[in-house]
């Protein structure tokens, strides 16, 4: 029993140390503001989350179709943690819609189909269809 308790305490200490070091590591965050004169859709997710992978495919299709009108950016928690903190992302996937000045004007939590995103982009007047 003592051995088990010591192992659990040791693992918790190891995990806490890892998190402390991980949080202190510098990250390579992309610029926060969208390209000048362009609205943006930031897709916050993880490479290991199944709905996030589905959203990556949706974002890729949208970029191919509407990339000249809207900036589409994938933001991964393990690569760009400061952006997650800046936008107060609490669940993934989350889509954040930014106007051309970089101000958040809407957000959605959960996966969306390509058609649902297109409807949202039209409603926000990001795209003309």
Could you read off the pLDDT of 37-84 as tens digits, one per residue? 899 999 999 999 999 999 999 999 999 999 999 999 999 998 999 999
At residue 7 the predicted structure's pLDDT band, cuts being 50, 70 and 90, is low
Question: Residue 16: is its pLDDT beyond 50?
Answer: no
Query: In terms of pLDDT, which residue wins out, 24 or 126?
Result: 126
Helix residue ranges, H only, the chain: 2-24, 50-66, 81-86, 114-123
- Identify the H or E element spanning 95: strand 94-98
The answer, as to whether pTM is greater than 0.85, is: no
Q: Would you list the domain boundaries of the chain?
A: 40-123
Radius of gyration of the chain (CA): 18
CATH superfamily of 40-123: Glutaredoxin (3.40.30.10)
């Amino acid at each position: 029993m003592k051995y088990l308790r010591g192992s659990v305490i040791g693992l918790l200490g190891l995990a806490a140390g890892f998190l402390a070091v991980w949080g202190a590591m510098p990250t390579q965050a992309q610029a926060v503001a969208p390209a000048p004169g362009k609205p943006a859709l930031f897709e916050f997710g993880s490479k290991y989350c199944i709905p996030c992978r589905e959203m990556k495919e949706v974002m890729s299709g949208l970029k191919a179709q509407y990339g000249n009108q809207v900036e589409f950016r994938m933001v991964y928690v393990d690569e760009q943690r400061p952006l997650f903190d800046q936008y107060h992302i609490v669940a993934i996937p989350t889509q954040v819609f930014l106007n051309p000045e970089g101000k958040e004007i809407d957000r959605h939590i959960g996966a969306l189909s390509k058609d649902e995103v297109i409807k949202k982009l039209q409603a926000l007047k990001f795209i003309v269809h």
